[in-house]
Amino acid sequence: MSPQSGIPKHKLSRAVTLAGTGAKISGNYAKYYAKKVVGGVDDREGLSEANAKDTYNAFSSLKGGPLKVAQMLSIDKNFLPKAYREQFAKSYYSTPPLSYPLVLRTFKRTFGKSPQELFDTFTQDAVAAASIGQVHKASLNGKDYAVKIQYPGVAQSLKSDLGFLRPVAKHMLNMSPQALDRYMKEAEARLLEECDYSLELRRSMQLSQATEHLPDVQFPNYYPELSSSHIISMDWVEGLPLDAWIDSNPSQEERNRIGQALWDFLHFQVHELREFHADPHPGNFLVQDGTLFVLDFGCVKQISPEFHQAYFALLLPGLLDDELRLERCLQKLEILIDSDSPEETRVILKAVRYSLELLGRPYRSEHFDFSDPEYLAAIYQMGEDNRSDPELSNIDSSRGSADALYVNRAFFGLYNLLGRIGAKIQAEVPESVMPPS
């Protein structure tokens, strides 16, 4: 893939790129309606594919906030139509890297030295490129390093990017303006943190140390002396990216082992640390000799004990059969609000009951088989059904705690990865949310 020689930095040039995307989408709609009126062809699938491709190409050229939003949305298959999910999944691996002169400029500005002056060897071509930065392989004194370099101008353009993204996001997500505001504010907060590599370095060291006792989970070491607010140096880990490992046809025993490691990793951080890796896409994990390596702590979400108790109380046994208790839980999470009519309450409870029954199944059996394609298909279909449900579409969607956005994202990402792995895992309701006996 050819490297980019630069990224549009100025607010106007980035706005023009996104506005151009909007114009292309409008053109795609015009072609769609022309086909429908003149030829009687209702090619909604073709429309969605064209819009998704044009949107991803623009996001990919801009990097930063737009591309990170694409990556985030591709994880939750309940959020996006299929065509967008397939295009946005490219953000894990298929992003055009920046050319070497821009990398050199970042090193000079940060360390006052070139990469070759800091390391014995340094690859001029990136070995991986994602939304916020790209990775190069380096060596020093016989030791190999992965060096992650942030794209120039990403942090400075983030807020304006998200503002320009609103019309595109509204079209993709079909959200009310109020609901979209909540989503974009929470996304902005996390993305601003991801642009602070000094913060990421501290969190990477702290969270990996706090989680290193878990079986079959490992982390690279990090090197503050070779890192900065725009560069992070860590151990180079040999292994297969999670997607490639899945494609290598591992045994069921290996699948179960890696799946259990992934499950235990997220659950320990969520339920014990209340601070967790909130970016569970396959590009953030490697598999080496039956061990899961976690490579990236750029996106971390902290939750309060109060939110944790209210949210995960939804897993408690018997809750679905106790309407009063279920309503109280949903009121604490602002999913049910005082102004809801009896009919709105009925519609919401119906949707929530089905969602909780479906998503809570792994916790209600001693062993759960994520390799069952019907289970993941039911989760994806639930999203499609909710988007097209006329009763739900009439209810204001600007409800629910903003903290739930990244918790939902983490667990949808986890379920998706376990389904792709085809793992059978052991699960139970965490003790931290069980009422005292």
The rounded distance, in Å, linking the Cα atoms of 140 and 225 is 13
The rounded distance, in Å, linking the Cα atoms of 389 and 383 is 10
The token pair that represents 351 in the structure block: 């949707």
Intervals of the chain under pLDDT 50: 437
What are the structural domain ranges in the chain?
11-95+157-192, 239-437
What DSSP letter does each residue of 133-179 carry, written as one string? Answer: EEEEEEEETTEEEEEEEEPTTHHHHHHHHHHHHHHHHHHHH---HHH
| Residue 223, pLDDT score | 97
Neighbouring-strand partners of residue 144: 139
| Residue 99, pLDDT score | 81
The token pair that represents 160 in the structure block: 């304006």
Q: Beta strand pairing status for 291-294 and 217-218?
A: parallel
Neighbouring-strand partners of residue 300: 277
Could you tell me the sign of the dihedral formed by the alpha carbons of 291, 297, 299, 301, in that order? positive
| Residue 188, pLDDT score | 80
Question: pTM for the complete prediction?
Answer: 0.79
